Amino acid sequence: MTGSSALSDRELTAIRGDFPILGRRLESGHELVYLDSGATSQRPRVVMDTMRDFSSQHNASVHRGAHSLASEATDAFEEARAQIAGFVGADTAELVFTSGTTGAINLLTASLGAASGGRGQGLGRRFAILPGDRIVVTQAEHHSNLVPWQELAARTGAELVWLRVAESGRLRLDDLPSVINSRTRVLAFTHASNVTGAVTDVVEVVAAARRAGALTVLDAAQSVPHLPVDLPGLGVDFAAFSAHKMLGPNGVGALYGRSELLEALPPGFTGGSMVEIVTMREATFLPPPNRFEAGTQAVAEAIGWAAAVDYLTHLGMDRVAAHEHELTQRLLDGVTELDAVRILGPTDAKARLGTVAVDVEGVHAHDVGQYLDAQGIAVRVGHHCAQPVHRALGVQASTRASLGVYNTAAEVDQFIEALGQVRSYFGVGS
């Protein structure tokens, strides 16, 4: 994106060779064209090998027990944490393992809920949300960065207010002054929409939130996999992201929190492994990040995730972004040429990811997806866990192609060609 050179054909071929699934032939006889990385990305062999090695040689519970395996597992788990934290510019103690982005946001809302209920003593008070306070979200949110805030608002008596999406699919940042008031305690927003692909100007949102003294919570589920992201540099207070969208396994993700905040925040989930002393009446809690990691952790997954981060680091996130940017441009240009196909989101590749949702006039997304699937092209159809943004853009459901580092220009062309045939197959138009 910043003039950094994209991948050469040879490099791309080598990358594709690292992903066994990309060589699959489907039941329909077609070779797989995987354009659903926005839902979940595919995994390189090194991720699978790393996890298998852990399971076959080092498996043990971490931070519990003193035998050799437990100590090997704990070391590997903590190394993984350091690596993943480093990948987003954070300090190791600022990265809390969770089950994913959804897990991270729910952990945070539960923790804010605990603070609102008086937990966390003096230090926790800064997080308390009171009746009449305001929680701000946006219309572009994935349900996982919306519903937990609706629930927290309902529990605390806070008012839920949202920033709207413009017809272009971008957030209406000009409205920030009217949605943020002096009682705004939290502003939760997505870094990149999983529908429109629009990338938010985080610095501008953070500045507006800071003026009101509101905490900022960034949904980085779609951005961290595709762009170089430096969370402390962006200035957000909290952020969430998932391994499975960035070449890693399911079942693990992270909550990032600025250390000063994590230090003061009471834990939303409690139980084993996050306590110091437990009596029948009460418990004292470990410092972060362990304070927020109640229960047995997904150790093999965390280590597999670190292998994915290592893989991406070797490629270089700027080059990953440059490659995907080129493909995004090609995808947008190709779709724009088609009759009666509308892109839900920005039509130019600037400040945008290769996540392109379209509405084919007269053909429902399910039917579009079925037609593409019959040619081996895997896209997502439906509302992609983001009903409000679809409603805001005047559609019920859409067909979404989303790119990954392993996609090729030929695959983009195949998608465009097939998409161009959909209306005539279903007998609409022309």
Partner 1 sequence: MSSLDTMYQELIMDHARHPHGKNLARAFDGESFQVNPTCGDRIQLRVRLDGVPGELVLAEVTWDGQGCSISQAAASMMKDLVEGRPLEEVAALMDNFNQLMHSRGKGIDEAVADSLEDAISLEGVSRYPMRVKCALLGWMALKDAAAKATAGDSSPAHIPEGI
Residue positions annotated with a catalytic role? 385
Taking the C-alpha atoms of residue 320 and residue 330, their distance in angstroms, rounded to an integer, is 16
State the DSSP code for 104: H
Q: How far is the CB of 241 from ligand PLP (least distance, A)?
A: 8
- Note if the bond before 177 is cis, omega within 30 degrees: no
Taking the C-alpha atoms of residue 243 and residue 88, their distance in angstroms, rounded to an integer, is 13
List the single partner that 144 binds among partner 1, ligand PLP, none, CB under 5 to 8 Å by kind. Answer: ligand PLP
Rule CB under 6 A: is residue 399 a binding residue for ligand PLP? no
Q: How far is the CB of 260 from partner 1 (least distance, A)?
A: 38
Coil/strand/helix, residue 233: helix
Minimum CB distance to partner 1 smaller for 299 or for 392: 392
List the single partner that 427 binds among partner 1, ligand PLP, none, CB under 5 to 8 Å by kind. Answer: partner 1
Q: Which two tokens stand for residue 224?
A: 């961290």
Beta strands per DSSP E along 214-258: 215-219, 238-242, 253-257
Instruction: Mention every residue, 6+ apart, whose C-beta is less than 8 A from residue 136.
Output: 161, 162, 163, 179, 180, 184, 186, 187, 188, 214
User: 342: which strand partners?
Assistant: 359
List the single partner that 382 binds among ligand PLP, partner 1, none, CB under 5 to 8 Å by kind. Answer: partner 1
Q: Contacting ligand PLP (CB under 6 A), which of 83, 106, 111, 242? A: 242
Minimum CB distance to partner 1 smaller for 25 or for 125: 25
Closest by alpha carbon to 40, among 251, 309, 306, 263? 251
State the DSSP code for 8: -
3-state DSSP helix/strand/coil % of the chain, to nearest 5 = 45, 15, 40
Q: What is the dihedral of CA 117, 122, 123, 129, to 10 degrees?
A: 30
Minimum CB distance to ligand PLP smaller for 253 or for 266: 253
Q: Which residue is listed with tokens 């290592």?
A: 310
Minimum CB distance to partner 1 smaller for 382 or for 420: 382
List the single partner that 242 binds among partner 1, ligand PLP, none, CB under 5 to 8 Å by kind. Answer: ligand PLP
Rule CB under 6 A: is residue 290 a binding residue for ligand PLP? no
| Side chain identity, residue 365 | A
Minimum CB distance to partner 1 smaller for 33 or for 199: 33
Q: Contacting ligand PLP (CB under 6 A), which of 37, 138, 144, 156? A: 144
List the single partner that 133 binds among ligand PLP, partner 1, none, CB under 5 to 8 Å by kind. Answer: none
Q: Which two tokens stand for residue 416?
A: 């465009």
Minimum CB distance to ligand PLP smaller for 215 or for 246: 246
x/- mask, ligand PLP, residues 200-219, rule CB under 6 A, reads -------------------x
Instruction: Mention every residue, 6+ apart, whose C-beta is less than 8 A from residue 246.
Output: 41, 224, 225, 305, 308, 309, 312
Rule CB under 6 A: is residue 190 a binding residue for ligand PLP? yes
Minimum CB distance to partner 1 smaller for 21 or for 374: 374
Rule CB under 6 A: is residue 37 a binding residue for ligand PLP? no
Q: Contacting ligand PLP (CB under 6 A), which of 221, 332, 412, 422? A: 221
List the single partner that 130 binds among partner 1, ligand PLP, none, CB under 5 to 8 Å by kind. Answer: none
Rule CB under 6 A: is residue 41 a binding residue for ligand PLP? no
Count of residues binding ligand PLP (CB under 6 A)? 15
Rule CB under 6 A: is residue 142 a binding residue for ligand PLP? yes
Minimum CB distance to ligand PLP smaller for 34 or for 371: 34
> Angle at CA 197, nearest 5°, toward 191 and 203?
30
Closest by alpha carbon to 109, among 144, 78, 83? 144
List the single partner that 29 binds among partner 1, ligand PLP, none, CB under 5 to 8 Å by kind. Answer: none
* CB burial of residue 136 (10 Å; 0-12, 13-18, 19+): buried
Instruction: Mention every residue, 6+ apart, whose C-beta is less than 8 A from residue 291.
Output: 262, 267, 274, 285
Q: Which two tokens stand for residue 256?
A: 């990032």
Restricting to residues 359-388, name those near ligand PLP by CB under 6 A.
385
The stretch among 12-20, 78-86, 98-106, 407-415 that binds ligand PLP (CB under 6 A) is: 98-106
Rule CB under 6 A: is residue 106 a binding residue for ligand PLP? no
Residue numbers of the site for partner 1 (CB under 8 A)?
Answer: 28, 364-367, 370-371, 374, 381-383, 387, 390-391, 396-397, 425-427
Coil/strand/helix, residue 159: strand
List the single partner that 383 binds among ligand PLP, partner 1, none, CB under 5 to 8 Å by kind. Answer: partner 1
Rule CB under 6 A: is residue 74 a binding residue for ligand PLP? no
Residues within the interface to ligand PLP (CB under 6 A): 100-102, 142, 144-145, 190, 194, 219, 221-222, 242, 244, 253, 385
